[in-house]
Amino acid sequence: MARLLFVALLGWALAAPADEAFERRVSSLAHELRCLVCQNQTIADSNAPLAVDLRNQIREQLAAGKSERDVRAFMVERYGDFVLYRPPLKVSTVLLWAGPFLLLLTGAAILLARLRRRPPEPQLSPEERARAARLLE
Amino acid sequence: MRLWIVGLFVALVALLAVGLTLNPRQVPSPLIGKPAPPFELPLLHQPDKTFTQKDMLGQVWILNVWASWCPPCLVEHPVVTDLARSAPVVGLNYKDAREDALPWLARHGDPYRISVQDAAGRIAIDYGVYGVPETYVIDQKGVIRLKHIGPLTPEDANEKIRPLLKELGARG
Protein backbone atom coordinates (compact mmCIF):
# COMPACT_ATOMS: atom_id res chain seq x y z
CA MET A 1 0.00 0.00 0.00
CA ALA A 2 2.73 2.42 1.03
CA ARG A 3 4.66 1.53 -2.07
CA LEU A 4 1.57 2.07 -4.21
CA LEU A 5 1.03 5.45 -2.63
CA PHE A 6 4.64 6.35 -3.24
CA VAL A 7 4.42 5.36 -6.88
CA ALA A 8 1.20 7.32 -7.27
CA LEU A 9 2.73 10.41 -5.68
CA LEU A 10 5.86 10.09 -7.75
CA GLY A 11 3.75 9.78 -10.87
CA TRP A 12 1.81 12.87 -9.89
CA ALA A 13 4.98 14.82 -9.18
CA LEU A 14 6.39 13.87 -12.55
CA ALA A 15 3.15 14.46 -14.42
CA ALA A 16 2.74 17.96 -13.01
CA PRO A 17 5.65 19.27 -15.01
CA ALA A 18 6.73 22.21 -12.92
CA ASP A 19 5.72 23.93 -16.09
CA GLU A 20 3.81 26.94 -15.02
CA ALA A 21 4.96 28.79 -18.11
CA PHE A 22 3.34 26.12 -20.27
CA GLU A 23 0.03 26.37 -18.41
CA ARG A 24 0.18 30.11 -18.79
CA ARG A 25 0.56 29.72 -22.55
CA VAL A 26 -2.44 27.37 -22.67
CA SER A 27 -4.51 29.73 -20.58
CA SER A 28 -3.62 32.89 -22.45
CA LEU A 29 -4.48 31.23 -25.77
CA ALA A 30 -7.75 29.89 -24.33
CA HIS A 31 -8.58 33.45 -23.29
CA GLU A 32 -8.49 34.76 -26.84
CA LEU A 33 -10.67 32.05 -28.41
CA ARG A 34 -14.44 32.23 -28.42
CA CYS A 35 -16.57 29.37 -27.19
CA LEU A 36 -19.11 28.87 -29.97
CA VAL A 37 -21.57 27.12 -27.71
CA CYS A 38 -21.89 30.09 -25.35
CA GLN A 39 -20.82 32.84 -27.68
CA ASN A 40 -20.01 35.56 -25.20
CA GLN A 41 -17.48 33.51 -23.28
CA THR A 42 -13.97 32.47 -24.12
CA ILE A 43 -13.11 28.80 -24.06
CA ALA A 44 -11.11 29.57 -20.91
CA ASP A 45 -14.22 30.83 -19.10
CA SER A 46 -16.72 28.31 -20.41
CA ASN A 47 -17.41 24.89 -19.00
CA ALA A 48 -19.33 23.70 -22.04
CA PRO A 49 -18.08 20.23 -23.03
CA LEU A 50 -16.81 21.61 -26.34
CA ALA A 51 -14.82 24.31 -24.53
CA VAL A 52 -13.20 21.60 -22.40
CA ASP A 53 -12.36 19.61 -25.54
CA LEU A 54 -10.89 22.66 -27.23
CA ARG A 55 -8.79 23.53 -24.16
CA ASN A 56 -7.45 20.00 -24.32
CA GLN A 57 -6.70 20.49 -28.01
CA ILE A 58 -4.72 23.62 -27.19
CA ARG A 59 -2.81 21.80 -24.47
CA GLU A 60 -2.08 18.80 -26.69
CA GLN A 61 -0.97 20.87 -29.63
CA LEU A 62 1.25 23.19 -27.64
CA ALA A 63 2.74 20.14 -25.90
CA ALA A 64 3.44 18.66 -29.33
CA GLY A 65 5.56 21.71 -30.10
CA LYS A 66 3.08 23.72 -32.16
CA SER A 67 3.14 27.48 -31.87
CA GLU A 68 0.31 29.77 -30.76
CA ARG A 69 -0.08 30.82 -34.36
CA ASP A 70 -0.54 27.18 -35.46
CA VAL A 71 -3.22 26.58 -32.85
CA ARG A 72 -5.04 29.77 -33.81
CA ALA A 73 -4.94 28.70 -37.48
CA PHE A 74 -6.27 25.26 -36.48
CA MET A 75 -9.29 26.87 -34.80
CA VAL A 76 -9.95 29.37 -37.61
CA GLU A 77 -9.81 26.59 -40.24
CA ARG A 78 -12.65 24.83 -38.42
CA TYR A 79 -14.76 27.54 -36.85
CA GLY A 80 -13.93 30.65 -38.90
CA ASP A 81 -12.67 34.08 -37.82
CA PHE A 82 -15.58 34.27 -35.39
CA VAL A 83 -13.62 32.05 -33.03
CA LEU A 84 -11.04 34.82 -32.52
CA TYR A 85 -11.89 37.44 -29.96
CA ARG A 86 -9.45 39.72 -31.77
CA PRO A 87 -10.69 39.51 -35.37
CA PRO A 88 -8.10 39.92 -38.15
CA LEU A 89 -8.02 43.08 -40.25
CA LYS A 90 -9.59 42.18 -43.60
CA VAL A 91 -11.86 43.79 -46.18
CA SER A 92 -14.90 42.36 -44.42
CA THR A 93 -13.79 43.61 -41.01
CA VAL A 94 -12.50 47.08 -41.95
CA LEU A 95 -15.69 48.73 -40.71
CA LEU A 96 -15.39 46.86 -37.43
CA TRP A 97 -11.88 48.14 -36.83
CA ALA A 98 -12.22 51.62 -38.34
CA GLY A 99 -15.82 52.26 -37.30
CA PRO A 100 -15.16 53.65 -33.80
CA PHE A 101 -12.48 56.01 -35.13
CA LEU A 102 -14.77 57.13 -37.94
CA LEU A 103 -17.49 57.87 -35.40
CA LEU A 104 -15.01 59.80 -33.25
CA LEU A 105 -13.84 61.88 -36.22
CA THR A 106 -17.44 62.55 -37.28
CA GLY A 107 -18.30 63.67 -33.77
CA ALA A 108 -15.26 65.94 -33.59
CA ALA A 109 -16.12 67.44 -36.99
CA ILE A 110 -19.70 68.17 -35.91
CA LEU A 111 -18.50 69.69 -32.65
CA LEU A 112 -16.00 71.94 -34.45
CA ALA A 113 -18.58 73.07 -36.97
CA ARG A 114 -21.06 73.99 -34.25
CA LEU A 115 -18.47 75.80 -32.16
CA ARG A 116 -17.49 77.92 -35.13
CA ARG A 117 -21.05 78.79 -35.91
CA ARG A 118 -21.77 79.95 -32.36
CA PRO A 119 -22.87 83.62 -32.27
CA PRO A 120 -20.26 85.93 -30.70
CA GLU A 121 -20.63 86.83 -27.02
CA PRO A 122 -22.86 89.91 -26.60
CA GLN A 123 -20.84 93.06 -25.92
CA LEU A 124 -21.93 95.09 -22.91
CA SER A 125 -21.61 98.83 -22.57
CA PRO A 126 -19.87 100.15 -19.40
CA GLU A 127 -23.27 101.18 -17.95
CA GLU A 128 -24.72 97.70 -18.53
CA ARG A 129 -21.61 96.15 -17.00
CA ALA A 130 -21.95 98.31 -13.89
CA ARG A 131 -25.60 97.39 -13.61
CA ALA A 132 -24.88 93.70 -13.95
CA ALA A 133 -22.23 93.96 -11.23
CA ARG A 134 -24.71 95.67 -8.95
CA LEU A 135 -27.33 92.99 -9.58
CA LEU A 136 -24.85 90.27 -8.83
CA GLU A 137 -23.78 91.69 -5.50
CA MET B 1 -29.39 70.38 -39.94
CA ARG B 2 -32.29 68.67 -38.14
CA LEU B 3 -33.00 66.67 -41.26
CA TRP B 4 -29.66 64.92 -41.34
CA ILE B 5 -29.88 64.08 -37.65
CA VAL B 6 -33.18 62.33 -38.41
CA GLY B 7 -31.46 60.64 -41.35
CA LEU B 8 -28.64 59.45 -39.10
CA PHE B 9 -31.16 58.09 -36.60
CA VAL B 10 -33.08 56.23 -39.31
CA ALA B 11 -29.82 54.74 -40.65
CA LEU B 12 -28.85 53.57 -37.15
CA VAL B 13 -32.28 52.01 -36.58
CA ALA B 14 -32.04 50.26 -39.96
CA LEU B 15 -28.58 48.91 -39.09
CA LEU B 16 -29.76 47.58 -35.73
CA ALA B 17 -32.95 46.16 -37.27
CA VAL B 18 -30.91 44.15 -39.78
CA GLY B 19 -28.66 43.00 -36.93
CA LEU B 20 -31.64 41.75 -34.98
CA THR B 21 -32.82 39.55 -37.84
CA LEU B 22 -29.45 37.81 -38.16
CA ASN B 23 -29.02 34.60 -36.23
CA PRO B 24 -25.75 34.68 -34.27
CA ARG B 25 -25.90 30.87 -34.06
CA GLN B 26 -25.49 30.55 -37.83
CA VAL B 27 -21.80 31.28 -38.10
CA PRO B 28 -20.62 30.93 -41.69
CA SER B 29 -18.43 27.85 -41.90
CA PRO B 30 -14.96 28.20 -43.43
CA LEU B 31 -15.31 24.57 -44.57
CA ILE B 32 -17.70 25.27 -47.45
CA GLY B 33 -15.94 24.47 -50.71
CA LYS B 34 -13.16 22.60 -48.89
CA PRO B 35 -12.56 18.85 -48.95
CA ALA B 36 -14.35 17.02 -46.13
CA PRO B 37 -11.80 16.49 -43.34
CA PRO B 38 -10.49 12.92 -43.43
CA PHE B 39 -11.47 10.42 -40.78
CA GLU B 40 -11.56 6.73 -40.09
CA LEU B 41 -14.05 5.80 -37.40
CA PRO B 42 -15.53 2.56 -36.04
CA LEU B 43 -19.01 1.61 -37.19
CA LEU B 44 -21.66 2.05 -34.52
CA HIS B 45 -23.15 -1.37 -35.18
CA GLN B 46 -19.88 -3.22 -35.80
CA PRO B 47 -17.11 -1.52 -33.81
CA ASP B 48 -14.48 -3.85 -35.27
CA LYS B 49 -15.05 -2.34 -38.73
CA THR B 50 -14.23 1.20 -39.78
CA PHE B 51 -15.53 3.68 -42.30
CA THR B 52 -13.73 6.60 -43.91
CA GLN B 53 -15.11 9.57 -45.79
CA LYS B 54 -13.21 8.21 -48.84
CA ASP B 55 -15.68 5.32 -49.02
CA MET B 56 -18.27 7.81 -50.27
CA LEU B 57 -16.22 9.29 -53.14
CA GLY B 58 -18.29 9.40 -56.33
CA GLN B 59 -21.55 9.88 -54.44
CA VAL B 60 -23.38 12.90 -53.17
CA TRP B 61 -24.04 12.25 -49.50
CA ILE B 62 -25.21 13.78 -46.28
CA LEU B 63 -23.30 13.68 -43.03
CA ASN B 64 -25.55 14.10 -40.02
CA VAL B 65 -24.00 14.66 -36.58
CA TRP B 66 -26.29 13.47 -33.79
CA ALA B 67 -26.42 12.02 -30.30
CA SER B 68 -29.00 10.19 -28.22
CA TRP B 69 -28.62 12.82 -25.45
CA CYS B 70 -29.56 15.63 -27.82
CA PRO B 71 -33.29 16.48 -27.82
CA PRO B 72 -33.17 18.60 -31.03
CA CYS B 73 -31.76 15.53 -32.80
CA LEU B 74 -35.01 13.76 -32.06
CA VAL B 75 -36.93 16.76 -33.38
CA GLU B 76 -35.15 16.65 -36.73
CA HIS B 77 -35.19 12.87 -36.94
CA PRO B 78 -38.28 12.63 -39.22
CA VAL B 79 -36.69 15.19 -41.57
CA VAL B 80 -33.44 13.22 -41.73
CA THR B 81 -35.44 10.05 -42.33
CA ASP B 82 -37.21 11.77 -45.19
CA LEU B 83 -33.96 13.14 -46.68
CA ALA B 84 -32.50 9.63 -46.64
CA ARG B 85 -34.74 8.90 -49.62
CA SER B 86 -32.95 11.58 -51.67
CA ALA B 87 -29.34 10.79 -50.79
CA PRO B 88 -27.40 8.38 -48.59
CA VAL B 89 -27.07 9.74 -45.06
CA VAL B 90 -24.09 8.86 -42.90
CA GLY B 91 -24.73 9.28 -39.19
CA LEU B 92 -21.90 10.52 -37.01
CA ASN B 93 -22.79 9.60 -33.46
CA TYR B 94 -21.18 12.35 -31.38
CA LYS B 95 -19.86 11.87 -27.83
CA ASP B 96 -22.37 9.18 -27.13
CA ALA B 97 -22.34 5.68 -25.67
CA ARG B 98 -23.07 2.76 -27.95
CA GLU B 99 -25.50 1.33 -25.38
CA ASP B 100 -27.50 4.59 -25.58
CA ALA B 101 -27.20 5.18 -29.31
CA LEU B 102 -28.30 1.74 -30.52
CA PRO B 103 -31.58 1.64 -28.53
CA TRP B 104 -32.28 5.22 -29.69
CA LEU B 105 -32.03 4.10 -33.32
CA ALA B 106 -34.09 1.00 -32.59
CA ARG B 107 -36.83 3.11 -31.00
CA HIS B 108 -36.97 6.00 -33.46
CA GLY B 109 -35.91 4.29 -36.67
CA ASP B 110 -32.52 4.15 -38.34
CA PRO B 111 -32.35 6.32 -41.47
CA TYR B 112 -28.57 6.01 -41.79
CA ARG B 113 -26.88 4.13 -44.59
CA ILE B 114 -23.87 3.91 -42.30
CA SER B 115 -23.38 4.99 -38.70
CA VAL B 116 -19.98 5.81 -37.28
CA GLN B 117 -19.03 6.59 -33.73
CA ASP B 118 -17.01 9.62 -32.67
CA ALA B 119 -16.95 8.91 -28.96
CA ALA B 120 -14.27 11.49 -28.15
CA GLY B 121 -15.72 14.13 -30.45
CA ARG B 122 -12.31 14.68 -32.07
CA ILE B 123 -13.50 14.28 -35.67
CA ALA B 124 -16.42 16.61 -34.96
CA ILE B 125 -13.85 19.29 -34.06
CA ASP B 126 -12.32 18.86 -37.53
CA TYR B 127 -15.78 19.43 -38.97
CA GLY B 128 -16.23 22.56 -36.84
CA VAL B 129 -19.19 21.07 -34.99
CA TYR B 130 -20.38 23.21 -32.09
CA GLY B 131 -24.11 22.66 -31.89
CA VAL B 132 -25.46 19.17 -32.43
CA PRO B 133 -27.29 18.31 -34.62
CA GLU B 134 -25.31 19.51 -37.62
CA THR B 135 -25.70 18.42 -41.21
CA TYR B 136 -23.30 18.54 -44.15
CA VAL B 137 -23.86 17.95 -47.85
CA ILE B 138 -20.76 16.51 -49.53
CA ASP B 139 -20.41 16.15 -53.28
CA GLN B 140 -18.98 13.40 -55.51
CA LYS B 141 -15.46 14.82 -55.19
CA GLY B 142 -15.67 14.84 -51.40
CA VAL B 143 -16.08 18.61 -51.13
CA ILE B 144 -18.36 20.11 -48.46
CA ARG B 145 -21.10 22.10 -50.20
CA LEU B 146 -23.38 22.99 -47.31
CA LYS B 147 -23.34 23.03 -43.55
CA HIS B 148 -26.47 23.36 -41.47
CA ILE B 149 -26.27 24.02 -37.74
CA GLY B 150 -29.10 22.96 -35.48
CA PRO B 151 -32.16 20.80 -36.19
CA LEU B 152 -33.33 20.56 -39.80
CA THR B 153 -36.88 21.72 -40.38
CA PRO B 154 -38.98 20.42 -43.29
CA GLU B 155 -38.49 23.89 -44.86
CA ASP B 156 -34.69 23.57 -44.60
CA ALA B 157 -34.93 20.18 -46.27
CA ASN B 158 -37.21 21.36 -49.07
CA GLU B 159 -35.75 24.80 -49.69
CA LYS B 160 -32.04 24.30 -49.00
CA ILE B 161 -31.00 20.66 -48.97
CA ARG B 162 -33.14 19.07 -51.68
CA PRO B 163 -32.47 21.72 -54.36
CA LEU B 164 -28.73 21.35 -53.70
CA LEU B 165 -28.92 17.54 -53.83
CA LYS B 166 -30.78 17.78 -57.12
CA GLU B 167 -28.26 20.26 -58.53
CA LEU B 168 -25.40 17.96 -57.55
CA GLY B 169 -27.16 14.94 -59.04
CA ALA B 170 -27.68 12.94 -55.87
CA ARG B 171 -29.23 9.52 -56.01
CA GLY B 172 -31.15 8.07 -53.09
pLDDT tens column, B69-82: 999 999 999 999 99
Q: From the candidates B27, B132, B134, B144, which should be mutated to test the interface with A, based on the most A CB atoms within 10 A?
A: B27
For residue A19, what pLDDT is reported?
81
For residue B171, what pLDDT is reported?
82
For residue B89, what pLDDT is reported?
97
Element (H, E) at B41: strand B40-42
Mean pLDDT estimate for chain A: 85
Asked if A53's CB is within 8 angstroms of B130's CB, the reply is no
For residue A4, what pLDDT is reported?
60
**Region at B77 (left for phi over 0; alpha for psi -120 to 50; beta for the rest):** alpha
ipTM score for this prediction: 0.82
Three-class DSSP category at A66? coil
Q: Please say whether the beta carbons of A42 and A29 come within 8 A.
A: no
Other CB atoms within 10 A of residue A47 CB: 11
For residue A13, what pLDDT is reported?
54
Using CA atoms, how far apart are residues B54 and A6, in angstroms rounded to an integer? 49
Three-class DSSP category at B80? helix
Asked if A80's CB is within 8 angstroms of B29's CB, the reply is yes
What average pLDDT does range A71-78 have in this prediction? Answer: 94
Asked if A54's CB is within 8 angstroms of B30's CB, the reply is no
Q: Give percent of chain B with pLDDT exceeding 70.
A: 98
Q: From the candidates A33, A41, A50, which should be mutated to test the interface with B, based on the most B CB atoms within 10 A?
A: A50
More confident residue, B86 or A137: B86
Q: Residue A35: closest CA among chain B residues belongs to which residue?
A: B130
What average pLDDT does range A77-85 have in this prediction? Answer: 90
Q: Please say whether the beta carbons of B134 and B121 come within 8 A.
A: no
Query: Residue A58: is it exposed, middle or buried by C-beta count within 10 angstroms (0-12/13-18/19+)?
Result: buried
Other CB atoms within 10 A of residue B31 CB: 20
pLDDT surpassing 80 at residue A17: no
What average pLDDT does range B128-143 have in this prediction? Answer: 94
**Mean pLDDT lowest among A89-98, B99-108, B110-119, B120-129:** A89-98
pLDDT band at B13 (very low <50, low <70, confident <90, very high): very high
For residue B131, what pLDDT is reported?
84
For residue B82, what pLDDT is reported?
96
What average pLDDT does range A2-16 have in this prediction? Answer: 58
Looking at the complex, report in whole angstroms how far the Cα of residue A83 sits from the nearest Cα belonging to chain B: 10
Helices (H) and strands (E) in chain A, counts: 6, 0
**Strand ranges inside chain A, DSSP E:** none
Q: Residue A34: closest CA among chain B residues belongs to which residue?
A: B130
Query: Residue B126: is it exposed, middle or buried by C-beta count within 10 angstroms (0-12/13-18/19+)?
Result: middle
pLDDT surpassing 70 at residue B1: no
Report the C-alpha dihedral over residues B67, B70, B71, B72, rounded to 10 degrees.
-80
Residues of A with Cβ-Cβ distance to B127 under 8 angstroms: 78
Using CA atoms, how far apart are residues A86 and A92, in angstroms rounded to an integer? 14
Residues of B with Cβ-Cβ distance to A57 under 8 angstroms: 125
Q: From the candidates A55, A74, A78, A114, which should be mutated to test the interface with B, based on the most B CB atoms within 10 A?
A: A78
Mean pLDDT estimate for chain B: 93
Q: Please say whether the beta carbons of B89 and B83 come within 8 A.
A: yes
Classify each residue of B76-107 as buried b or exposed e, where b means 16 or more C-beta atoms within 10 Å of its C-beta: bbebbeebbebbbbbbbbbbbeeeebbebbee
Residue in B121, B125, B131 nearest the CB of A78: B125
- The residues, ordered by sequence, that sit 6+ positions from B55 with a Cβ below 8 Å of its Cβ are B114
The pTM of the full predicted model, rounded to 2 decimals, is: 0.78
More confident residue, B170 or A3: B170
For residue A7, what pLDDT is reported?
58
